[in-house]
Structures are given as structure tokens and as C-alpha cells.
Structure 1
């Protein structure tokens, strides 16, 4: 089985007549962490959705574990060990915390069940306090914890977090970053989109910056942190 979990090769994606992604190449290996960065509207979420089959690229290829998944349905990609925490979270508001978690529970691609209900409870103690609450009764931070916990219940090899801490209070965001660091230590590969470039590059090995649907930087996280001009030019407010 390929060491490369997910790849995009010369991907061009459009929304109607709008050309959003311009020939993007992307790859992530087992256990790797990638910070996917750029200002709003630069194509980060579109790249993720293009690789997951939520949006179809007009040109280029998407590979999952070395197999061509360019036209595969999204659920097939999920079945290959890829979990997605979308912007907006996407929890089921009419289900309880327990039900949101249990409905996602399954073994990993190799039969692993390292992320059990009990492990998620110990990782997210706040969810344990809300276990019988409906999804609609949770705060934004609790919803984000629930969505991450639900993704982990699938025992993935790759976890994709789109806008990991958007709209969260600073203390809650700090708790999310603490949890993501713990997840990274378990060996799960991770793609993280977030505006806090300091936090996300401290967690990830590599950083990729998109500008107007093109890759302008793809190097180590250390290289980003060492280049304040790069940060100001492409990530500064």
C-alpha cells in the first residue's frame, strides 16, 4: 500500500466560469502534518473539496493511496481512511453527543480500533459532561470537539481540519490546539486550515501557502516561521 495517502496532480477546479484552482500539486504522506494556509478566498477549502470528491476538478487527477480517485464518490474516499472536519462542523443537531459519536464508529482500514468511545471521552472531557445533550445545545467550541471526536471514531489515517478554530473564543481555541497536538502524537496524518499561522505551523511539519488558486510556498514549517516577510506578504491582515 502506498506511503502517499492523498495527492492532487495538476488540479484545475472551477465554480461555473470562475477558475479557482490553477494546476495545483499536493501530497501528504503517512504520519505527516501539513498547514494549508492563505488568505480568504485563495482556494484552500476548494482544494480540500476537490481531493475529497465534494467538488469535481475539471482537469488533473486525485490519487488516494496511489489509486486514481478523481471520479470516485466521496464516501469511497472516506472508506480509505480519510476523515474530514468541514468548515461549519456539520454535526447532526437532532442527535445527542453520544449518538453523533456512535453513529460514526468503525474500525480503521487495517482493522485498528484505537479510537474508541472511551478514548474520545477521555480526550474530550467536556463532551462527557454533555453526553446526552443534543447537538443543537452545544457551544461552538463543543460542536468542534464533537466533530473532531466523530472523525476520530472512524480510526482514520488522515484527518483534515478545515478552519479548525474559526469563530471560537481564544481559550476554546487553545483547547482545540492542545487536542490536535495530542492527535498528531498518535501518528495520524493531518491537514489543517486555520488563520492562526503560528499555532498551525507549530503543530505541522510542512506548510503550503495558496494565493489565487496557486501554490506560492511549499516547505517546512520552520521556513515559514523564519520568514516574517513571507508571512506579511501572504498571510498578514
Structure 2
């Protein structure tokens, strides 16, 4: 069995007086892919932010590679080989495509530099065509490619994608899914949030469904694909 990368134990997170996450347990192992699913407002992004230290849980623990990192800052967690592609993308619009990529370049925790600038260019040829364009000049799809490419430049062991294809035209979304499949083949563990349950479960090994800040399902992706009632009840499709 592969090693545990990221764990959350009995996480309770609040926004002010609002109790958002209710005792969530989560884990992902090296090389594993998890589809994190649920309707809007069910706590998916809050769970991610709670594990990355962006939001501080009121109760519970977060472990990275078995070490308690509950009080660590976000950058310290990122330095443990975890890359985050946030909803809204978060590129530096005043920088060029090249600068966005180069500013994040670093070796992985074990010194690996498999994801070089040239490899990212080969994976995202469209970015090569826009290499000297400012971030503000890119389409939504190109911005998403840039954000994923920038995350890969950190040579992560775990890539977390929040709303991987949100708001993208169907053809661009298909291209993003193709790229994510290629990334999965390299052995990087992934957590993917996306409304396209068919696409995300086809890429991931496991699926988790959140309802009102609680996990109502944690099983194989095949179990979700073969259970239309589960999809209809909890995902509203």
C-alpha cells in the first residue's frame, strides 16, 4: 500500500458562527486520484482550504506525510509537495505567461525536477503561442492551463484542482480533461472538484460526496458511475 500524503481527522470548520464542516475525515495516498463531489455550498472548497491552512479549522487535525501540520502556514504545507489550483485560478495578470511559470519553478521534496519549463510547454502548446502575453490577455481556458502549468512547475506529489473546468467552453474543457489524464499517468496524486461527474470519476480512483459539510459517500469511482440514484440524490443530475 502506498504512503499517506494528506489526511484530515475530525475537521470542524466555521465561518464566523456558521458551522460549515462537521467532523470530516479525509485521506489521500501517493499516486491516488480522488473526485471530490457535491452540490454548490456543500463544503468542498472549505475542506480543501482547511487542509491547506487557508482557513483554520476550529477542531481536528491535518497531517501531511504523517506529521501534524494543523498549525502550519499555507506556504509551509505547499513546500511539502502540495500544489493548489484554486477556483478563480489566481494567476498574476500583470506578469507574462513565461513569468507566471518561472516564478513558481522549484524542485520537488525529493529534489526531482521532472516538470521543467520545456515539459510544461510541451504539455500546453497553447501557452507556448502566448508565452509573452500578459495574464490579463488570456482566455479563461488559457488561464486555467497556465494555473495548472504553474502548479506543475513546483514538481508536486499532490495536485489539488478546485473547479477544474468551471465556466469553460466544452471544447476547452475537453482539452483540460485530456491534460489532467496525462498528468495522472505520471503518478501525481490528484484531488479534483468538478461538476462533470462523468469526466472526474473516469479519471479518479475514489470518489467522495459532501452534503452540508459531511461525507455521505466514500468509495470507488465505479460505484458512483454504476449508481444513478446516488448521483441523482446528492449531485442533482
Give the shorter-chain TM-score range.
over 0.9
Secondary structure at 2:90's aligned position in 1?
Answer: coil
**Residue matched to 2:210:** 210
Structure 1, unmatched stretches of 5+, are none
Q: Which residue of 2 aligns with 1:79?
A: 79
CA RMSD of aligned residues (A): 0.7
* Residue 3 of structure 1, CA deviation: 1.1
Q: Which residue of 2 aligns with 1:45?
A: 45
In structure 2, what is the Cα distance between the partners aligned to 1:128 and 1:22?
44
Query: Deviation above 2 Å: which 4+ runs of structure 1?
Result: none
Q: Quote the residue 2:11 is aligned against.
A: 11
Q: In the alignment, what sits opposite 1:232?
A: 232
Structure 1 equivalent of residue 23 of structure 2 = 23
- How far residue 160 of structure 1 moved from its aligned partner, in angstroms, is 0.1
Is 1:184 aligned to 2:184, yes or no? Answer: yes
| Secondary structure of the structure 1 residue equivalent to 2:190 | strand
Q: Helix, strand or coil: the match of 2:61?
A: strand
**In the aligned structure 2, how far is the partner of 1:167 from the partner of 1:107?**
32
Q: Which residue of 2 aligns with 1:154?
A: 154
Q: Does 1:138 align with 2:131?
A: no
Q: Which residue of 1 aligns with 2:69?
A: 69
Displacement of 1:64 in angstroms is 0.5
| C-alpha distance in structure 2 between counterparts of 1:70 and 1:213, whole Å | 19
Counterpart CA distance in 1 for 2:27 and 2:221 is 15
Q: Give the TM-score of the pair, scaled to structure 2.
A: 0.99
In the other structure, the counterpart of 2:166 is 166
Aligned residues between the structures: 236
Task: Determine helix, strand or coil for the equivalent of 2:28.
Answer: strand
In structure 1, C-alpha distance between the alignment counterparts of 2:74 and 2:236, rounded to whole Å: 34
Note the C-alpha offset of 1:17: 0.1
Cα deviations by residue, 1:63-89 (Å, 9 ceiling, x for unpaired): 001000111000000000000000000
> SS at 2:77's partner residue?
helix
| Pairing 1:120-131 to 2, within 5 Å after superposition | 120-131=120-131
Q: Distance in 1 between matches of 2:166 and 2:115?
A: 25
Q: Is the partner of 1:229 in helix, strand or coil?
A: helix
1:236 Cα deviation from its structure 2 partner: 1.7
Query: How far apart are the structure 2 equivalents of 1:71 and 1:111?
Result: 25
Structure 2 residue ranges without an equivalent (≥5) = none
- In the alignment, what sits opposite 1:194? 194
Distance across 2 between alignment mates of 1:89 and 1:83 = 12
